[in-house]
């Protein structure tokens, strides 16, 4: 079954038409290369907590919500970088290990990976992951998670029962 995806770019400049979003389209292209997937929505909002929350809530409460909600941008240390706070405030269950893994895997190539403050977790029936705002960092983080995302989504859907334990019979 294909993974359905929505991508939210969080950027004051992109949302005001001052610059072109490159991260969102790059993520849309990459996700379709990595998995059987369908990008069903793309949007851009400014670095405003309520607008970020509003878009994530709107997507997650659709009759058939996307499996994966990716955000790009607003995860740094600048005063207006509020994506993690916006996301953390609405998640049903946090999953910090996903971004810990991404930062760890990206560190060898980009030591500044640990400056990204993203959140991850479940909102209704969607997995939400905050990715950095630059095209390069966003795609590196997504690639860093590519081997575990299908299983994470299958588990969230209730389709996976084998969690890769040594005694599970999985090879």
Specify if 49 maps to a domain.
yes
- Answer whether residue 165 shows pLDDT above 60: no
pLDDT in tens, 90-148: 999 999 999 999 999 999 999 999 999 999 999 999 999 999 999 999 999 999 999 99
Specify if 99 maps to a domain.
yes
- Answer whether residue 1 shows pLDDT above 80: no
Specify if 168 maps to a domain.
no
Give pLDDT, residue 171: 44
- Answer whether residue 161 shows pLDDT above 90: no
Specify if 102 maps to a domain.
yes
Beta pairing class for 3-10 and 68-72: parallel
pLDDT in tens, 147-158: 999 999 999 998
> What CATH number is associated with residue 73?
3.40.980.10
The residue written with tokens 């390069």 in the block is: 136
pLDDT in tens, 51-84: 999 999 999 999 999 999 999 999 999 999 999 9
Give pLDDT, residue 4: 98
Specify if 104 maps to a domain.
yes
Q: Helices (DSSP H) in 77-148: which residue ranges?
A: 83-88, 96-107, 135-145
Cβ–Cβ under 8 Å, residues 98 and 149: no
For residue 139, the enclosing domain spans 3-158
Specify if 166 maps to a domain.
no
Domain count, the chain: 1
Specify if 128 maps to a domain.
yes
Q: Quick one: average pLDDT of 15-34?
A: 97
60 closest CA partner among 68, 71, 52: 68
């Amino acid at each position: 079954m294909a993974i359905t995806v929505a991508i939210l770019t969080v950027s004051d400049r992109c949302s005001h038409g001052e610059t072109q979003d490159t991260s969102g389209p790059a993520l849309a292209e990459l996700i379709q290369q990595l998995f059987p997937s369908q990008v069903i929505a793309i949007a851009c909002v400014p670095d405003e907590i309520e607008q970020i929350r509003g878009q994530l809530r709107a997507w997650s409460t659709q009759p058939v919500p996307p499996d994966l909600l990716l955000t790009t941008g607003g995860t740094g240390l600048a005063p207006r970088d509020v994506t993690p706070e916006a996301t953390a405030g609405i998640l049903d269950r946090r999953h910090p290990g996903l971004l810990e893994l991404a930062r760890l895997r990206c560190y060898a190539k980009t030591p500044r990976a640990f400056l990204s403050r993203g959140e991850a977790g479940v909102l209704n029936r969607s997995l939400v992951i905050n990715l950095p705002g630059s095209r390069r960092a966003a795609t590196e983080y997504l690639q860093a998670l590519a081997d575990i995302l299908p299983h994470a989504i299958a588990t969230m859907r209730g389709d996976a029962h084998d969690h890769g334990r040594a005694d599970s019979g999985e090879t």
